[in-house]
Chain A
Amino acid sequence: MTLAGFLNDPINFVAQWLTGLLTGWGFSNGLITVILYFIGILVLVVFAMLLDIGLVWVERKVVARFQDRLGPNRIGPFGLIQPIADIIKLVIKEDITPAGADKVVFNIAPVLAAMSVISLWAILPLSSKIFGVDLNVAVLYLVAAGALGTLSIIMGGWASNNKYALLGAFRMVANMVSYEIPMVVTLLIPVILADTMSVQGITQAQSGMWFAILSPLAFVIFFISAIAELGRSPFDLVEAESELTAGFNVEYSGMKFGWFYASELLHAFTFGGFMAVLFFGGYGGFFGLEKLSAFHWLTNPFIQAAVFIAKAMFGYWAIMWVKYSMPRIRIDHMLAFNWKFLVPLSLVVLVNTAILNKLLAGLPAWGYTLGMFLSNVIIGVVTIEILRAYGRKQRKSEQTLAQAMRN
């Protein structure tokens, strides 16, 4: 019951202290377990929601800096109280339900959207000792939570009784369902490399070498499909504020819209966290440095959690960087890009990783790393050459067509 005990293993420490306290008050063992679970869930959800409020501030400041302006700086130092002001504004707005809308479905959709994102926090490994649950199918759970999010969008679009909302919802669901395929295929690559589907196992398997170095193409494809899954730019035609009149959430106002917006930001941050876990070593990944006695503090749970959140923030920043630098892609280009380019490429990378993982198993670590990295580079170069040849052919056929029309 010392401070060192708390610093080294916070969750078990608090659980033991609470168990002792509650047994002293006379609760039965089963009830204590249930109460501890509830407290754990509450702490995790509150942490996620507070982080979400911070993300609103981060988003607005970063977009401002990308656009060469300052962002909110009036309320509080550096505009830090701005998200609180936003929340107060959204809460006191009028709660409009459109006429003819399906009231129950209309009101459940934002809740379901938030639920699907927060449920992802159950498997996010903040540290080797701080996590919700160590599922042995955690990677598939990530895909499942995305499926719940898709459902909430279609519920929102349908229940609004508005054909633009419905159209936006259709496009978004088509987008998300299509980009799930390269996402699942590239999610399989860390699973192959780590020989387990559990996120703790994947993090620990990267203590020698990050998977982003072993398979950079997989990371790039996962990055692109994650951005498409989130529905953020450049894949955000579905809620294009300037075109489709904000898509499926056109009829949502006040705090319901606030839930959609907040869950989108938290989803982006959670995907940044998953990119960190799957490809950049999560809370660890110090290339074996933590085994030296001088760096033993790197295995402290709080340091690990800080490292994880820093990496997740970096991933989130990269997602925002792409969002504020690229123009929007049209829906048919989006789907063609997925089915004609990403899906075959991701399948090729998967087969390559699976075969090489077995072939190079006997080599020392540097040989294995070099082999996998080189194979990815070769696939990348070949892909670019194929694309160049395709582009050249297109340009030539257009030139001959233009010449024929001139004559």
Chain B
Amino acid sequence: MSIPLSWYLILAAALFCIGLYGVLSRKNAIAILLGVELMLNAVNVNLVAFWRYLDPAQMAGQVFAVIVFAVAAAEVAVGLALVISVYRRRKTVVADEVDLMKW
């Protein structure tokens, strides 16, 4: 295990920023959710790297990562259900076109 901790953190930071770019620049609502998934994975990589490098006897890092798995699954399920429901009514998945409540 000769890999320095900074390598993991930089990888997670890069993954996070790529996900951020995906969220901010894509039109399709499902593509935005894909970017959010990348960001959540980057956070998880960070958590597990810190767990391993700082104190592997303490389980807080892994437990946090497991809870993030559960939250990500719940969020994707509800998010995609909303996207499908919006598609059925308005026949569009482009996030900009869902603007009934804008002034």
A and B touch in the complex (CB under 8 A): no
Which B residues fall within an 8 A CB radius of A? none
